[in-house]
Amino acid sequence: MSRKLFGTDGIRGTANQEPVTAETALAIAKATGREFVRGDYRHTVVIGKDTRLSGYMLESALMAGFISVGMDVVLLGPVPTPAVGMLTRSMRADLGVMISASHNPYQDNGIKIFGPDGYKLSDEVERAIEARINSGDAKLAPAHQLGRAERLEGAFGRYIEFVKSSFPRGLRLDGMKVVVDCANGAAYRVAPKVLYELGAEVVPVGVYPDGFNINQRCGATEPGRMQEAVVTHGADFGIALDGDADRAILADEKGNVVDGDQVMALIARSWQESGRLAGGAIVATVMSNLALERYLTGIGLDLIRTPVGDRYVVERMRSGGYNVGGEQSGHIVLSDFATTGDGLIAALQILAVVVQSDRPASKVTQLFDPFPQLLRNVRFNGGAPLEDEAVQAAIRAGEERLGAGGRLVIRKSGTEPLIRVMAEGEDDALVEEVVAEICDIIEARAGDKPAKLRRAGSAGAE
């Protein structure tokens, strides 16, 4: 059975419209709870959220659903997604749930579910949950076995200490001025505090959430505000997190963007030199630049590619025993520390290299020049545009034009009604022509309105 509710990163959509309604959240909680009630003991689920207004609605519905099948609920309040994964394991909970639509605007929301090991659920388990929902198989607990709910007031404090422990022992950020843009999202309290406690002078941006301004002209998807603040304040480094802080786009002291590909390359080299890198390779998606692959080959490392989505990166890391992986868009997974992408931990690893090198970030973080790469998103009205014969013919023609020195990646977004068209190669003009031609065909056959083009190294979503 295919999954209909779950996409590449949980369940996501417009708040108060299917599938992101209170009714569906209640059904999801009951079905998921029943799937994980596996013994005669008190079962527990921890629930975190970002700062969207709709989080209150979904939090209450999920809480009621889990309690109704006999699970105790621990409410974490606004915390980053990786904090939910960490606390699920730390507290020996049976489940963790994050209410967030990540980089999407406030109108959207979503539900991400973690198993007792702190990792996101597999496709197989998600299918089993959907089967329970479809069959109505969510046996309610008798009155004496109903769950209870409590709020863990110190959740963000636990996460702060966890993140600080990832920074090399004995190293400090004293003398460093760091801009951190929290996107008015889940990290608005924890990120500035972590940096301050490690010794940095902190310039906070996007730390006044109001339920509506998450990711609004700020954060990892629009890092310009962070870049401008770095230059204005004469900072040494910049960090732009997304709404749930599972990814980050960085900037050097000149305000130049450091994207996920550069971050993975620098961590891979650093960990290789210290003997810490596992498996002689890193894991990245098909969106990562060819220049990253060539750089890694040059230092004796392999690049293993997966479909887009940090869950697929994590699955390949776990199956192959690798400890560094991620996405160009800034999801960096360092399994020595976390079970999912963690923007703050990734930023600290780069800051550690900068401090230890005693050089400006601009001299440390740009390890290679990316190939010309262009991504364009085409919104569509429904159906299956990629199965259209004219679209398929345009794709084949584009692949032939790019040849062996380029790549073409075309896929349907797992979180929005978009077709993402990405091409890269050594000839910038050819890349632009190929993308334009394919997008024109898609728009003519199934399009709504085109989104803007995105160059390699920018912060668009994967």
pLDDT tens, position by position, 151-164 = 999 999 999 999 99
Q: State if pTM tops 0.95.
A: no
Res 391: pLDDT:
93
Q: Rounded to whole angstroms, how far apart are CA atoms 34 and 46?
A: 16
| 152 SS3 class | coil
| pLDDT exceeds 80 at position 416 | no
Res 229: pLDDT:
98
For residues 33 and 44, the answer to whether their CB atoms sit within 8 Å is: no
Q: For 216-342, where are the alpha helices, taking DSSP H only?
A: 224-232, 260-273, 290-298, 310-320
| pLDDT exceeds 70 at position 208 | yes
Of 100, 102, 270, 458, the active-site residue reads: 102
| pLDDT exceeds 80 at position 370 | yes
Mean pLDDT of 384-406: 91
φ/ψ of 233, rounded to 5, equals: -95, 5
Mind listing the pLDDT tens digit for each residue in 314-347? 999 999 999 999 999 999 999 999 999 999 999 9
Query: Is residue 102 annotated as part of the catalytic site, yes or no?
Result: yes
Res 455: pLDDT:
54
pLDDT band at 446 (very low <50, low <70, confident <90, very high): confident
Fill in the amino acid letter for 240. Answer: A
Res 461: pLDDT:
46
For residues 249 and 240, the answer to whether their CB atoms sit within 8 Å is: yes
| 135 SS3 class | helix
Res 462: pLDDT:
52
HEC per residue, 328-350:
CCCCEEECCCCCCCCHHHHHHHH
pLDDT band at 448 (very low <50, low <70, confident <90, very high): low
Res 172: pLDDT:
98
Expressed in angstroms, the distance from the first to the final Cα of the chain is 26
Q: Please, what is the average pLDDT of the chain?
A: 93
| pLDDT exceeds 60 at position 454 | no
Q: Assign residue 134 a region: left if phi > 0, alpha if psi is -120 to 50, beta otherwise?
A: alpha
Mean pLDDT of 172-187: 98
